[in-house]
Structure 1
């Protein structure tokens, strides 16, 4: 599983101009089963996405396809982790703990 942390690196007007395209992209990733949670950070200097991509290369490619990334208004920090424990409704995303 992956945590994608977006940090804005452009003026607010550039970000707002791309927000609709970014949100359409987010919706596409939810529909494709790639994302299971997302939302803005507080303070609102970016956002966080929880992704269940098959591997890091796939998740990096997905992040690179974000209109925010393509227009260079945000930077992505991608952290892979093992979801060895989850709430019961997220049981399908549990992963065996690694060494």
Structure 2
């Protein structure tokens, strides 16, 4: 998914500690696989495990920067048909 900032970065930065805690919670649960800032710093990208869209939307809506209307998210679904060998165990679409 993509998170796009809708407020100035300086305002978003004030809440990044809360956003980082939110990310930690979802990494620990196994729902998130990768996350990072976009370049230029206009938002971030988060790669998740497959989950029902309703659940994913609820998870994203609970992001502190989204709750404060400082950002909005876009879900981009894709099914990886090829992965590097080191990612094969994470690709649930391919037989291991």
In structure 2, the partner of 1:70 is: 67
Bigger CA drift: 77-86 or 43-52? 77-86
Q: Is the 8 A contact 2:6 2:71 kept in 1?
A: yes
SS at match of 1:84: coil
Q: Which has the larger share of strand? A: 1
Count how many residue pairs are aligned between Structure 1 and Structure 2.
93
Q: Does 1:5 align with 2:2?
A: yes
Gap regions ≥5 residues in structure 2: none
C-alpha distance in structure 1 between counterparts of 2:72 and 2:26, whole Å = 18
- TM-score of the superposed pair, with normalisation by structure 1: 0.86
Which residue among 5, 12, 20 is the counterpart of 2:17?
Answer: 20
Output the aligned Cα RMSD.
1.3
Cα deviation for residue 48 of structure 1 reads 0.3
C-alpha distance in structure 1 between counterparts of 2:87 and 2:54, whole Å = 23
In structure 2, the partner of 1:30 is: 27
